[in-house]
């Protein structure tokens, strides 16, 4: 089975654990749905957050949707002037028969503008 990577991002309005959980779950759910993937195809997930998000790990949010047995890793984005604030980025590694050109990356909320090469 080919090994692929999906990218996605979302933002939150405030550094609030409940909203982080809601947005991470929505993002992961949408990424899996758009790519017709399921939990069993997942190899690992890497999360990054901007330095202004400190109240919880996005991986903890992923565990709420039953992904506790998937290897999860969190890291902090570089603090770049003009960067998207309160942003959570994700890279999902998965097994998929889909050609790379057919993968659907997902950018939600204030992160929609991060990839201008993707259809809205």
Answer whether residue 119 shows pLDDT above 70.
no
C-alpha closest to that of 32 among 1, 60, 70, 82: 70
User: What pTM was computed for the model?
Assistant: 0.93
pLDDT tens, position by position, 20-61: 999 999 999 999 999 999 999 999 999 999 999 999 999 999
Pick 112 or 120 by higher pLDDT: 112
pLDDT score recorded for residue 12? 98
pLDDT score recorded for residue 1? 85
DSSP 1-64: --EEEEEEEEE-SSS-HHHHHHHHHHHHHHHHHHTT--GGGEEEEEEEE-TT--S--HHHHHHT
Residue 108, classed as helix, strand or coil, is coil
Task: Name the band, by pLDDT with cuts 50, 70 and 90, for residue 116.
Answer: low
Check if CATH label 1.20.58.1030 holds for domain 3-112.
no
C-alpha closest to that of 27 among 7, 3, 48, 56: 7
Token output for 13: 């309005």
Taking a C-beta distance cutoff of 8 angstroms, is the pair 53, 10 a contact? no
pLDDT tens, position by position, 54-94: 999 999 999 999 999 999 999 999 999 999 999 999 999 99
C-alpha closest to that of 91 among 36, 48, 55: 48
Domain boundaries, the chain: 3-112
């Amino acid at each position: 089975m080919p090994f692929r990577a999906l990218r996605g991002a979302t933002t939150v309005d405030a550094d609030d654990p409940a909203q982080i959980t809601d947005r991470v779950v929505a993002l992961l759910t949408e990424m899996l749905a758009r790519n017709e993937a399921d939990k069993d195809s997942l190899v690992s997930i890497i999360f990054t957050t901007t330095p202004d998000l400190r109240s919880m790990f996005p991986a903890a949010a992923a565990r709420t949707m039953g992904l506790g047995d998937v290897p999860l890793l969190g890291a902090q984005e570089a603090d770049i002037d003009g960067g998207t604030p309160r942003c959570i980025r994700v890279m999902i590694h998965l097994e998929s028969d889909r050609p790379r050109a057919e993968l659907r990356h997902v950018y939600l909320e204030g992160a929609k503008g991060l990839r201008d090469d993707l259809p809205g």
